[in-house]
Structure 1
Amino acid sequence: MKARMLAGLIRRRGRLSKWLHGAHMLAFLPALTLAGFWIGGEMALIAIALGLPALYALSSDGTTGPLDPDRPLPDLVDGAAASDLADQMLARAGSSNLATACFMLEAEGLDSIRRRVGDDTVQDLRNMLLRRLRALMRRGDCAARIGDSRYLVLLSPSLRLDLEALLTLADRMQRALEEPVESDVGTHYLSVAIGFCGSSRLPGTPDGAQFVEAAQTALAEALSNSPSAIRAWSDSMRAERRARKSLLAEVERALAKGQIQPWFQPQLCTSTGRISGVEALARWLHPERGIVPPMEFLNALEESGQLDRLSEVMLQHSLTALRGWDATGIEIPRVSVNFSDVELRSPQLVERIKWELDRFNLPASRLGVEVLETVIAESPEGVVAKNITGLSRLGCQVDLDDFGTGHASITALRRFTVHRLKIDRSFVTRVDRDEEQRRMLAAVLGLADRLGLETVAEGVESVSEHALLAQLGCDHVQGFGIARPMPPDQLATWARAHAERVHAAQQIGRSAG
């Protein structure tokens, strides 16, 4: 009989949980105790005293612990703990027929601040952001950091958590976190991207891991759009997320199998018309999809931490191509390879490039190193600066890529020993038709001339743009109007034909003279 009663008690655990954990349970304790004493005497009273704690433990639904509002949440939690917290919040919401929501926030800009002023200031900023976030929370909500710059927010169960309410809350959090921050080294400005998911938007009965993943998917969508973007999770994002994961795995295999290789786009000297160099550009030669443009896979390589491996592949193939052109008598003075800030932070970069040049028996002057202007603007000191200076001292030519889109100062240009400015295509487009565009370009070229730097104009699309750039004093030009990127053998064919055209033009000029 007692066994059947205990089994029934366990089956009714959910209902007991709600009753036993409510404040109204306290009102019944005196009556329950008195009834037990009158009905069963002292033995019944003892049984009640011993049984209530057991019933309370038996009815526990796991919602106590880290989400107990009277127990502070740790400042930093890992992925497993985040999923556990989300599980508990979902359980609370489900037992009350209410809704909850999960927010993921990413503070953009902490890396650049760390490179400028160090880790201590960044850690103070992380703590300050968490304090601001928790100041917005209600009792029962929880907020914690789950990475270097990422934060998790879980809302306590509530009756009204529709899309409009969640968007309003996301906007409030974003505005609070993006307020400028004063520190001992100056004022810091951050942008915050937010992705969120309401529990009512997920189909079925999701667990905590799925809840957190949905918010992370929405955050990834926000980060891919623009700074300070806010995105709500939708079911269509699930398919996009799967496709993204598939691309990540596929691009890693492609890199290992040698499917990602450099193609080369020629640069011409505006004075002589001859090839002054080539730029190595990554291309994915997919066995089924054909040529995959870099915008589709470079971000995937960055997410998977494979950019340094891509740099090695590009450098080795580029130096191999250069040796091959030399062997066939094709004059290509230099090959330029792009280096991201990830590769430029490697302490072994200079030694690795020196070793590769020695292995191919090539002087350092045959290798150009292209560095984005934003990298120089954000890294005036530290490993990046030492690497760029070391490569310049080694004899490599340093090109400042996409000049005009960042905020590199003239002092930074001199400190890093830059040899050439690569003028961004936004300054070149319509330069032959737009007077204002022409004045802006002339100002950039004048600055480079005063600093003693050569210039390369990117994105040249027409003969008239080419001619005008030469008239304005731009030293080199590059773009589809001259030639598209090509594999090494096609470039060799194009270079021979171009050399013949230049030679023929010179002969005509001499005859006319």
Structure 2
Amino acid sequence: MARIISKFLKQALTSARTAFVGPQILAFVPALTLGGYWFGGEGLLLFMAIFVPAAMGLVGLFAPMRSADRSDPDGDAITGLPLKQAVLDTLQRAFEKDGDTSSRTAAVVLEIDEFESFRNTYGADAADQVLGQVAERIGSTLRQGDTACRLHGATFAVALAPARRLDLEAMIQVAARMQQAIGAPIVIGGMRLFLSASIGFCLPRRASERSPDACLDAAETALRDAQASGVGAIRAFAPQSPRKRVKRTGLAEEVSDALEAGQIRPWFQPQISTDTGDIAGMEALARWEHPDRGVILPGAFLPAIAASGLSQRLGEVILNHSMTALRDWGAAGEHVPNVAVNFSHEELADPTLCDRIRWELDRFDLSPDRLCVEILETVISRSENDSITRNVTRLNELGCKIDLDDFGTGHASIANIRRFSVGRIKIDRSFVTRIDTDRDQQSLLTAILEMAERLGIETLAEGVETVGEHALLAQLGCNFVQGFSIARPMPFAETLDWIRIHRQRLSDQPRIAREA
């Protein structure tokens, strides 16, 4: 009871200070002094003019209020979490205790998936808001004694206080609980967004040595293994893992050599028709097949590509491999209608782009409709570059298909959709996630599909991860789907087997005879 009363009094004082401190108090001082003069003459006027401000200063109403938004004034400026040393200290204390008990600790490292892409799409302010909310959600999953910090970017670390029976199964449950908290809808600027996080963890007995640094480093290595498996993965550190940990800061130095060595190349993700189930195309997605780190996702190396001025060179590499894949699929007797390739702002502004694409199509003896040019919605919604408009118009006249990628994130107007001759919109996965369970998502997506139908534009939903989402999209009239429920991105060598298995499944399905 005493604690409750103390808390109530503290809140009351805070409310009083909020009401009286600041510029608004100046409006009352003249009124008080004037009242003193009215009732007591010049003597009381002088007394009020001196006594009132002095009294307010003495009770601390003018003292600066400490922000309640930050849990640690010496911690991270964006999230308010303590610094990395706090996590290491928690692990060290746990190591010192667990020798005498059966309790065990663990280190967890998690990272928001594709956060760089989110930052580029929504801006730095929205990204900082997301980091703050994610930090709060991580905190909501922790017990007393657990410590969390932000390592860098969208990467967080957690040190768990000692607990009994903290084994592999328990850690998977802890990681899943964190993912569930992060995955709840986040509202930014009136938009409902869905995030996911990849997680790696390490139980101390699995680390190379018994130290906080080794345990945390091992958890980071497990995170990279998780990211190589796709978004939203969870991995435990395994000491026999052959991958070596490479500092992220070294990527910028390696990326140029990797491009020329052929380590960066497209993986392909199928797109299928919701009407027939047939393959409608493949999207080319850049992957770095690092000799030490394994497969690195684009979110980790595209910033280094852009910073090194290699965006156009990367585009040339991806386009060449995509044309080669179309030719080789045909040579193997498998027809893939087209390949979708994403073109960056820098490429679209290149005056020679159209001529270069025409030359590539001629060299591989491919018709222009075999190439689908993907343009980010943020590019056409913000760009007034005449070269971009000219290039897209010429590519459309050449016969290439034009896709508007990540629709719903860049506020592209209908006029821009018409101006760029968009033939298909790719609905961003933030509008697709949980559509089979979220009525608001269903209403929003229905509106998008109805708009596209009235404009005569085809639709493709990205990020379809469940059978329920796939089925509902087909019922709502979305033309094409793409996502993990169909197939994950795969290197070219695996695509032929997947195509054959998929076609076999289609042929094995029972067909309903049509009435004469």
TM-score range, shorter chain: 0.5 to 0.7
Aligned partner of 1:226 in structure 2 is 124
Instruction: Work out whether residues 349 and 385 of structure 2, in 8 Å CA contact, stay in contact via their aligned partners in 1.
Output: no
| Equivalent residues of 1:280, 1:337 under 8 A apart | yes
Asked if the contact 1:266–1:483 (Cα under 8 Å) also holds between the matched residues in 2, the reply is: yes
- The structure 1 segments of at least 4 consecutive aligned residues displaced by more than 6 Å after TM superposition are none
Distance 1:446 1:429 in 2: 19
Pairing 1:453–2:457 present: yes
**Cross-structure match for 1:279:** 283
> Which one of the candidate residues 349, 356, 361 is aligned to 2:353?
349
Q: Give matches, 1:232-271, under 5 Å.
A: 243=247, 245-271=249-275
> Contact 2:341–2:372 (CA<8 Å) still a contact in 1?
yes
Residue from 461, 467, 484 that aligns with 1:463: 467
- Change in Cα spacing, 1:381 to 1:286, as seen in structure 2 (3 Å) is closer
Question: For residues 333 and 446 of structure 1, what CA distance do their matches in structure 2 show?
Answer: 26
| Counterpart residue type for residue 250 of structure 1 | E
Cα deviation for residue 508 of structure 1 reads 4.0
Does 1:394 find its partner at 2:398?
A: yes
What are the superposed Cα offsets for residues 392-422 of structure 1, whole Å, 9 maximum, x if unpaired? 1110000000000111111111111001000
Question: Structure 1: how far apart are the matches of 2:494 and 2:248?
Answer: 33
- Separation (CA, whole Å) in 2 of partners of 1:471 and 1:381: 39
Deviation at 1:226, TM superposition (A): 2.1
1:440 to 428, 444, 467: 444
Supply the distance in 2 between the matched residues of 1:326 and 1:245 (Cα, whole angstroms): 41
Aligned residue among 418, 422, 431 for 1:427:
431
Equivalent position of 1:90 in the other structure: none
* 3-state SS of 2:268 partner: strand
One-letter code aligned to 1:413? I
What residue identity is the alignment partner of 1:226?
A
Match of 2:318 in 1: 314
In the TM superposition, what whole-angstrom CA distance separates every residue of 1:188-209 from its partner, at most 9, and x where no partner exists? Answer: xxxxx9xxxxxxxxxxxxxxxx
1:375 corresponding residue in structure 2: 379
Give the deviation of 1:512 after TM superposition: 11
* C-alpha contact 1:370 1:399 (8 A) present in aligned 2: yes
Q: Deviations over 1:462-504 (max 9, x none)?
A: 1111110000000000000110001112111101110111111
The one-letter code of the counterpart of 2:437 is: R
Contact 2:374 2:403 in 1 (8 A): yes
Conserved in 1, the CA contact under 8 Å of 2:377 and 2:404?
A: yes
Q: Secondary structure at the match of 2:512?
A: helix
| Aligned counterparts, 1:113-152, within 5 A | none
Structure 2 CA distance for aligned equivalents of residues 437 and 498 of structure 1: 29
> Residue deviations 1:36-81, cap 9 Å, x none?
xxxxxxxxxxxxxxxxxxxxxxxxxxxxxxxxxxxxxxxxxxxxxx
- Decide whether the 8 Å contact of 1:380 with 1:412 is kept in 2: no
Aligned counterpart, 1:339: 343
SS of the aligned residue for 2:267 comes to: strand
| Of 287, 292, 302, the match for 1:288 | 292
Give the Cα separation in 2 of the matches to 1:287 and 1:309: 21
Aligned length: 289
Distance 2:279 2:301 in 1: 29
Shift of 1:227: 3.8
Q: Write the distance in 1 (CA, Å) between the matches of 2:272 and 2:422.
A: 20
SS of residue matched to 1:246 = helix
How far the C-alpha of 1:246 sits from its partner, in A, is: 1.9
CA distance in 1, matches of 2:340, 2:382: 22
Q: Which has the larger radius of gyration?
A: 1
**8 Å CA contact retained: 1:278, 1:334:** yes
Residue 416 of structure 2 is aligned to residue 412 of structure 1? yes
Letter in 2 for 1:428: V
The amino acid across from 2:333 in the alignment is G
Stretches of structure 2 lacking an aligned partner (at least 5 in a row): 1-66, 68-77, 79-115, 130-150, 153-245
Instruction: Compute the displacement of 1:381 (Å).
Output: 4.6
Tell me the CA shift for residue 509 of structure 1.
Answer: 3.2
Q: How does 1:176-191 map to 2 (within 5 A)?
A: none
Calculate the TM-score normalised by the size of structure 2.
0.53
Provide the aligned C-alpha RMSD in A. Answer: 3.0
Equivalences for residues 16-95 of structure 1 within 5 A: none
Amino acid at match of 1:298: L
Cross-structure match for 1:493? 497
Aligned partners of 1:247, 1:426: CA distance in 2, in Å?
A: 29
Residue 211 of structure 2 is matched in structure 1 by: none
SS in 1 for 2:257: helix
Q: Which amino acid aligns with 2:375?
A: V
| TM-score for both structures, normalised by structure 1 | 0.53
Give secondary structure in 2 for the equivalent of 1:402: strand
Distance 2:473 2:495 in 1: 24
Q: Does 1:324 align with 2:328?
A: yes
Match of 1:125 in 2: none
Q: Deviations over 1:206-241 (max 9, x none)?
A: xxxxxxxxxxxxxx9xx99924979xxxxx99xxxx
Partner SS, residue 509 of structure 1: coil
Q: One-letter code of the match for 1:509? A: I
For the residues of structure 2 that align with 1:292 and 1:357, how far apart are their CA atoms? 29
Residue 512 of structure 2, aligned match among 505, 509, 512: 509
Matched-pair identity in %: 54
In 1: Cα distance, 2:482 partner to 2:506 partner: 17
In structure 1, runs of 5+ residues without a counterpart are: 1-167, 169-192, 194-219, 231-235
CA distance in structure 1 between the partners assigned to 2:464 and 2:249 by the alignment: 36
Question: Counterparts of 2:421 and 2:493 in 1: how far apart (Å)?
Answer: 33
